[in-house]
Structures are given as C-alpha cells and as structure tokens.
Amino acid sequence: MTLILKGNIISAEKYGELNIIENGYLIANDGIIEGMYQELPKQYENYDIIDYGDKLIMQSFSDMHLHAPQYPMLGMGMDLPLLDWLNTYTFPVEANFKNTDFARKVYKELAQKLIKNGTTRVAMFSSLHKDATLILMEELENAGVTGYVGKVNMDRNGGKDLEETTQESIDETIDWLKKANFKHIKPIITPRFTPSCTNELMETLGKIAKENNLPIQSHLSENTNEIKWVKQLHPDCPEYFDTYQKYGMWNNKTLMAHCVHSSKRELQSMKDNGVYVVHCASSNQNLMSGVAQVKKMVDNGLNVVIGSDIAGGDHMSMFDCVADTIRASKARNILDNWETGFLTVSQAFYLATSAANKFFDELPGFAKGNKLNCLVLDDSKLISATKLSIKERFERCIYNREDGAIVSVYSEGRKVY
C-alpha cells in the first residue's frame, strides 16, 4: 500500500541540522519510506494524498528508557533521592503488578498515552512479573507502539514483595522469552541494576543475551550513593561498568540509562564498545542525581539517546523531555564555567529521534528504507505577533503546544492515532 502525506515536512537527517520541505510530500510503500519530495513524482499523480495543509509533519519520538509499572506513581516522591525513592515508592508500587487485572488496566492506558503523545518506539522496563510483562507487550502491540520490553530481573535487594530467587528469575526469563512472540514488540534482557542482581544471575543473563542475540538495558552511574553501593558489592571491579562488562552485557546493543557520574574510563569504554547512553534529564533533576555532561558525551562521539524515565521523570511527552534535555545542557554549561556549550533545539530533537534510529538499524531522519514513524502537529492555535518560519514554528512547539496539537501519528506506516 502506498501512503502519501502532504504538509511541512521536518526531519533531523544530521545532528544539529533540520531538513525542512515546505508543502512537500512524504511517500511510503508498505510502511517503508520511499522518499521526500518538493513536487509530487509523476508516477504518484493518480494516488490518493492525505493533505495536512499547513501542519507540521515530523519524526515521531523514541523513548529509550521508561518504567511501565511506575506509570501509576507519575509525579510522586519527587523530594527523595534515588535509593530512598525506590524503597519508599517504586518497589511497593511495582509489587502490585502480580495482579494481572491491574496490569492490564494500567498498561492499556499507558500504551494509548504514548501514542497520543507521539512516541512510537520504546525501550521499556516492565516489572519482574512474567505474566504482567506479556500483558504489557500485548497492549503496546495493540496500540501501535514498537520497540523493546524487558522482564526485570532482581534476585536481591528488592524487599519481601519484589524479589525472585536466582533460579526463579532465570526460569521465568526463559519461559517469558518463549512466549514473547509479538510482531512489533521484542524482548530485551533487563537486569534492573547491579545491586538487584547476584553474580550468578548476571552471568546467566549475559549468556541468555548472547545465545539469543538479544539487546540489553540497565542503569549506570546514576547516583553517587548507588556507585558506592556497587563498589561494596563488587570490590573486584574498578568501576560500575565493569560489573556489566565482565558478564558479556557491554556491546553496541546495550542501553545504559543516566551515566550522570560516569568517569573518563567508563565513558571511553562506552565509546569503544558502542554502548548507548540514555540521557534522562527530567529524572536526573527530580531525584537529585545530578546534571549529566550530555553535550560533552555527544561531542566526544558516544551514542546518546533520550529517555523519559517515567516515573523518575514526570513527563509523558517527549517534546517536554527534549526541552528538559536542552535545559540540562545549559545548566551543565554553567557548572562547567561556560566551557562545554549547550544543545540546540535541533540537536536535542536529533537525540530523541534519529539517534535512536541507529539502535533500530536505520539511518537518520526520513531516510529511504526506514520505517515510516511520524506525527502530524497543528500549531495554528498558538498566537504569534509575526509570521514565523517553519523552523521557528517547530522550535516553539518543542516548548509550547496546545492540548490536542498532535492530530495524527503513524507507526511503521500504520495510522495509529
């Protein structure tokens, strides 16, 4: 099936540069992008066109780190640092997902909210509950979200209500992988973080990931007390990242959230091994973890993407996460005596869209051969004193949108909203 969208097309083909085609055409065949054009090619003249007029057609977002079972506690406990927040709010809330009826209710709403906010790709944590994780994957699939979901593994330091035995964690993970047969939502190995997993469990998860060619996601160097705790648990490891590397979970299909306090050695190893930094600006500030050197990491050639990290982050909309990423880079610039610079709107938008394309084995922007993931935004209700360029309209929408501004969302060529 051929899909032709007409409007003001905006994509981030290069870091820091927007490709804008005013009143242009975006064409996809069977969900795969064929091209972008200022004029409609003759071979498509007799095809139906979906004309969005003066609206903005832009890449939809990839949220590369969020916790699905924390959705019911969005905005709670924001006065606590990470480890206290986990024990006071997160672990007790996640324990509720043993109840599959509760899981179904929450995950159905979450999946629909993601699409409504223009997020079509995710790398998402579930809880440790296998059945609830399968429900999450099903609801995301039904809503039109694509990407990865992980059954969380934790066989220590979760308390009496949120902890598996080592063998239970291994067996449940293997069984989950056998049952996780969805077209658009795929499994990802997910040790919660090093303090939650024994050496035996980490070793086995690394083997499972390797044997099944699966990606991996976890947390890294988010909080200074967390780093001290990891050192106590692993005195044989010079640094936090060594606890993942020694078990084979350190490669170009590894997502590591936060990296607020990563050392030069840790960052260099991430660069050398292609590991992805998932920058979570909102959460880093809310939980008082710190201000990551996001621009410096990008400038030094690391793979950097963006996550909402709900519910440590309090925004469902990746528009807001992009704005927070820009603000965090400006704060870091001030803390660095104005020496590191800050991210522009187009640079931060790239991290939330095109940078993640690489993780999904695609090229930046609306490249030919990519799957069509886009949103259509109506900014006509925003008042302006002068006529704005398409670039100015786009930049303003990162910070300011009316309710209902997103009027359509396409996920892998399917209109899902």
pLDDT tens-digit map of 226-246 = 999 999 999 999 999 999 999
Q: Looking at residue 159, what is its pLDDT?
A: 85
Q: Looking at residue 66, what is its pLDDT?
A: 98
Please report the domains of the chain, with CATH numbers, ordered by start residue: 2-60+364-415 (2.30.40.10), 61-352 (3.20.20.140)
Confidence of residue 329 (pLDDT cuts 50, 70, 90): very high
Mean pLDDT computed over 342-349 = 98
Q: Looking at residue 113, what is its pLDDT?
A: 98
Instruction: Compute the mean pLDDT over every residue in the chain, rounded to the nearest whole number.
Output: 97
Q: Looking at residue 392, what is its pLDDT?
A: 97
Mean pLDDT computed over 391-417 = 97
Cα–Cα distance for residue pair 128/214, rounded to 1 Å: 18
Cβ–Cβ under 8 Å, residues 276 and 254: yes
Phi/psi at 414 (5° precision):
-95, 130
Q: Looking at residue 156, what is its pLDDT?
A: 97
Q: Looking at residue 27, what is its pLDDT?
A: 98
Q: Looking at residue 160, what is its pLDDT?
A: 83
Cα–Cα distance for residue pair 111/384, rounded to 1 Å: 34
| pTM of the entire predicted model | 0.97
Instruction: For CA atoms 66, 72, 74, 76, give the dihedral sign.
Output: negative
Nearest to 180, CA basis, from 223, 225, 135: 135
Cα–Cα distance for residue pair 351/302, rounded to 1 Å: 11
pLDDT in tens, 60-94: 999 999 999 999 999 999 999 999 999 999 999 99
Instruction: With a cut of 90, say whether residue 173 has pLDDT above it.
Output: yes
pLDDT in tens, 86-119: 999 999 999 999 999 999 999 999 999 999 999 9
- pLDDT over 90 for what percent of the chain? 99
Cα–Cα distance for residue pair 187/176, rounded to 1 Å: 9
pLDDT in tens, 245-265: 999 999 999 999 999 999 999
What residues pair up with 187 in beta bridges, in sequence order?
149
Instruction: For CA atoms 361, 367, 372, 377, give the dihedral sign.
Output: positive
